[in-house]
A and B are shown apart, each in its own frame.
Chain A
Amino acid sequence: MSKANLLDRRAVVSELLRDRKGAFAIGGLGASTYDIAAAGDHDRNFYLWGGMGGAVMIGLGLALAQPTLPVIVITGDGEMLMGMGSLATVGLQQPKNLSIIVLDNEAYGETGGQTSHTGGTADLVGVAKACGIGDSRAISTMAEVEAFASSLQDVTAGPRFASAKIDGANLERVLSSRDGTYIVNRIRGSIGHTPI
């Protein structure tokens, strides 16, 4: 299944979060959430196990609420395709602290590897650009991942979007917490909010 010259998803996410400082990281359901968990648990990790298509919008709500902190949405091509309209909503709002990266294996890895639209005709970088996310780029090297990782700390120059073509190999699942109230209250606690 794996092809040459494609990035390793775990290496990409690990690099994105290596020097994250105060950043919030939202993982789209499926492999992206496992990748974030594999990079190390963190009280600002927003793991999703459902709500397919909602990752970017969760990132937007968080970014608007906390404009001085970086917010990064790390999701897959299938999840992004389901919430493609949210790129238009982000384009309209122009949140300066929001970054989105799609780990694109051109397939629905969780359900048997069926080909997604990005393996055919859809170009998510083109979609993001056309939706008004000026800084939209395709990433194909680890050097470009590093550059994206440092740029996401700049909360005055977003929104930004990247798509990285990754190896389609199914890796061992690294399971994060699945308890939504724990996940969300832990994030709230990290910015000083107490339970109701």
Chain B
Amino acid sequence: MHARAETAASWPEEIFSILQRFEVRQVPYVPDAGHSELIERVLGSSSMRGIALTTEEEGVALLAGAWAGGQRGVLLMQSSGVGNCINMLSLVQIFRLPFLTLVTMRGEWGEFNPWQVPMGSNTQGILELSGIKVLRASRPDEVREVVEAGAAQAYNACTPTAVLLSQRLIGAKVFTK
């Protein structure tokens, strides 16, 4: 029964269950193909509010307000969005936020679009320089434990954490005419 459930659930579904278990309420996002299944799950959920952003830094500020108001949140974005957040990530340190972000990676595994490579190559470094711990999941069978560890340390220990979801996990985007 347990084993069957494990093989049946997709990794985005597993992430959704973890967010439910940690009582996440606000889920700001800038759409990304790698996050599309999770975003749909969030938008259909009664306990979470999916909040579409115009740019990722809005999500960092939103989560500061949510925390002040007693709610947990998670920011969903793609690697290029990390660059859009840099100054706003000051809030994470200043307020000692229980910050969690799940970042789908581009520009690192079979990428077609060279414009994704500069930010994709610097995503981890930028996050670490901003005082955020970085964890990574590269295979479907490790997503659950990595996201669970990230959520636990972010929410229980106020240790700001980013989980990078490798392009290898998501698959390189296929460009066709």
Contacts and interface: CB of A to CB of B under 8 A. Distances in A.
Contact of A64 (B69, B96, B98): B69
Given A61-B26, A193-B70, A54 B51 contact: no
Interface stretch (A88-96, A109-117, A132-140): A88-96
B66 A64 contact: yes
A50 B93 CA distance: 12
Given A50-B94, A180-B95, A62 B69 contact: yes
22 contacts: A26-B65, A46-B65, A51-B64, A51-B88, A54-B57, A54-B60, A54-B64, A57-B59, A58-B68, A60-B51, A61-B63, A61-B65, A62-B68, A64-B51, A65-B65, A85-B55, A92-B52, A180-B95, A183-B95, A184-B68, A188-B67, A191-B70
A61 B62 contact: yes
Contacts of B176: none
Interface string A22-49: 0010100000000000000000001000
Interface of A: 24, 26, 46, 50-55, 57-66, 83, 85-86, 88-89, 92-93, 180-181, 183-184, 187-188, 191-193, 196
Contact of B26 (A24, A53, A65): A65
B91 interface: yes
B87 interface: yes
Contacts of B98: 196
B71 interface: yes
B146 interface: no
Contact of A196 (B66, B90, B91, B158): B158
B68 A86 contact: no
Contacts of B26: 61, 64-65
Contacts of B73: 61
B111 interface: no
Given A58-B61, A191-B70, 9 more contacts: A26-B65, A53-B88, A54-B64, A54-B91, A57-B62, A62-B69, A64-B51, A88-B54, A184-B64
Contacts of A55: 61
Contacts of B68: 24, 46, 58, 61-62, 65, 184, 187-188
